[in-house]
Structure 1
Amino acid sequence: MTNNERFAGKVVLITGGTSGMGLAAARRLLDEGASVVVTGRDRERLDAAVKELDAAGPDADGRVLAVRGDAASPRDLDALMEAVRERYGRLDAVFANAGVASFGDMSATTEDEFDRVMDANVKGVYFTIQKALPLLSDDASIVINASWTSHRGLPNGSLYSATKAAVQSLARTLAAELGPRGVRVNSVSPGYIDTPMYRGAVADEDAAGIRAQVASRRIGTPEEVAGVVAFLVSADAAYVNGQDLIVDGGLVGAVA
């Protein structure tokens, strides 16, 4: 159940908003009255996401702005912020969600792969927030998409986990730095969530074993993460700052 008025008049930026958790968050916030700005690198996927969002309700059309670009490119981010400035003049929330996966034995990690993942998952998040700062309203909220892998070791996840630990730390640091402005910064750490990234990384024969690790005995949905993001950017979380909220069905904190 949603409250269609909770984000009325608010403007929210969601990077990596063309699928998975980003698209689910865009749908949820749009449904609750926000105007949403979504980004993605692939024009075809971006257009498909906009079509889906525009069809979300009778008043959704006109509250969606799609900007093609790479969150790891400062030049693309400059263009994104200019588009936001021209359309809305401000941002009330940012969900820094864009990122890539990388799993494999550390001994096989190349410098090119290291740079690719660090650029997308750390550099992109850092500069998305930096370049959004002039547009943020004084009571704005930032949510960074981290990961359960920064809380528990995952074999063959050294590079990916390092990037997620970095942005989780960034959320705490920026909460202290931006607190005097009234800007809150938190992170969300999803567990195994049924997204294209998850389906691309997990073989069918491994799915049952993964579910067995989760106390809830199932894989999470993008909509369940979106609900947590909506909470964190809402006034209901006005005194939640510098925190990491794990959304994993009991993967990390419960004994399965």
Structure 2
Amino acid sequence: MQISEQIVLVTGGARGLGLAISQALIAEGAQVVVNYFSSQTAAQQLALDFPQQVFAYQADVTDKSQVEQLFTAAKAHFGASITSVVNNALIDFQFNGDARPKIAELTAQTLQQQFNGAVVAALNTTQAALEDMQNVHFGRIVNIGTNLVQNPVVPYHDYTAAKAALLAFTRTAAHELGEYGINVNMLSGGLLQSTDASKATPDAVFDLIAASTPLRTVTTPDEFAAAIMIFLSPYSRAVTGQNLIVDGGLVKG
């Protein structure tokens, strides 16, 4: 199925990386379900700008019932079910190495919050999408990870542990759902310049990252979003259970 034929849910799709993903999908001609939690103004503006392509809907993706309502509303709006899901939403996190919780200060609650935002949210959207994807024998699920799992240069314990768990879930889900024509993959970025989550990062850190990459640049949200189109396109129909690192070549595999 071409991207232009798909109905794609982007969680957290109205700001930061999510907005870049939504915009890339709009440019490809897809119909986009822009999920938001607090970015109502931005989400509704997208829907006003692209009324034929965008449906904006507020839902807490960690809440199973709200996610189910989101899928029902999207199906009613477009007259067809969601074909693809990009699990992008990030729960209350800032990339600030000085302010991160150290091991001695880390709490189970903090870990659980990030786990809910990464793994439980992906479980909720996958379960909500499953029946319709099985019925048409087609589905694309793309989970957003981090290269910190492979290279924890800054020990963001809660965030990285949750994304590592999401990587495991990506691979186990790919194994189980492949027989139904559902591909599940992950794209993992480094620090992006810039998003709401990375705005607290000092310029010196961005300069160091740029100097360390083969491309001598920091990946932008638009560049990362463009790579997501690979996993949504027909060219990746035989690709599942994979983790593609998109960071300008900083981290290898």
Match of 2:239 in 1: 240
Alpha-carbon distance change, 155 to 222 in structure 1, aligned in 2, over 3 angstroms: closer
Contact between 1:89 and 1:135, CA under 8 Å: does it hold in 2? Answer: no
Deviation for aligned residue 1:210: 3.1
Of 39, 48, 64, the residue aligned with 2:54 is: 64
User: Normalization by structure 2: what TM-score?
Assistant: 0.89
| 2:86 corresponds to which of 90, 95, 99 | 95
Cα distance change, pair 9–177 in 1 and its aligned pair in 2 (3 A): same
1:108 aligned counterpart, secondary structure: coil
CA distance in 1, matches of 2:233, 2:22: 14
Query: Are the aligned partners of 1:17 and 1:97 in contact in 2 as well (CA < 8 Å)?
Result: yes
Q: How does 1:1-256 map to 2 (within 5 A)?
A: 6-42=2-38, 45-52=39-46, 54-55=48-49, 60-87=50-77, 88-100=79-91, 101=93, 103-136=100-133, 137-194=136-193, 195-200=195-200, 202-253=201-252
Query: Per the alignment, in what secondary structure is the counterpart of residue 211 of structure 1?
Result: helix
Q: In terms of mean alpha carbon deviation, does 114-123 or 100-109 score higher?
A: 100-109
Residue identity matched to 1:199: K
Q: Equivalent residue of 1:176, what SS?
A: helix
The 8 Å contact of residues 46 and 54 in structure 2, kept in 1 or not, is answered as no
For residues 138-180 of structure 1, the C-alpha deviation after alignment (integer angstroms, 9 at most, x for no partner) is 2211100011111112332122111111111111111111111
| Structure 1 portions without partners, runs of 5+ | none
Deviation at residue 15 of structure 1 after TM alignment: 0.5
The amino acid across from 1:253 in the alignment is K
Q: Answer yes or no: is the 8 Å Cα contact 2:111–2:162 preserved in 1.
A: no
Contact 2:185 2:241 in 1 (8 A): yes
Give the counterpart letter for 1:198 in structure 2: S
One-letter identity of the residue aligned with 1:123: V
RMSD: 2.0
Task: Please give the alpha-carbon distance, in whole angstroms, between the structure 1 residues aligned to 2:44 and 2:221.
Answer: 17
Q: Distance in 2 between matches of 1:47 and 1:150?
A: 33
Name the stretch that deviates more: 210-219 or 164-173. 210-219
Q: 2:31 and 2:14 mapped to 1: Cα distance? A: 16
Whole-angstrom CA distance in 1 between matches of 2:101 and 2:204? 18
Gaps of 5+ in 2: 95-99
**Cα–Cα, structure 1 residues 252 and 179, in superposed 2: closer, same or farther, change >3 Å?**
same
Work out whether residues 111 and 159 of structure 2, in 8 Å CA contact, stay in contact via their aligned partners in 1: no
User: Matches of 1:53 and 1:215 in 2, distance apart?
Assistant: 38
SS of the residue 1:107 aligns to: coil
Deviation at 1:54, TM superposition (A): 4.2
The offset of 1:230, in angstroms, is 1.1
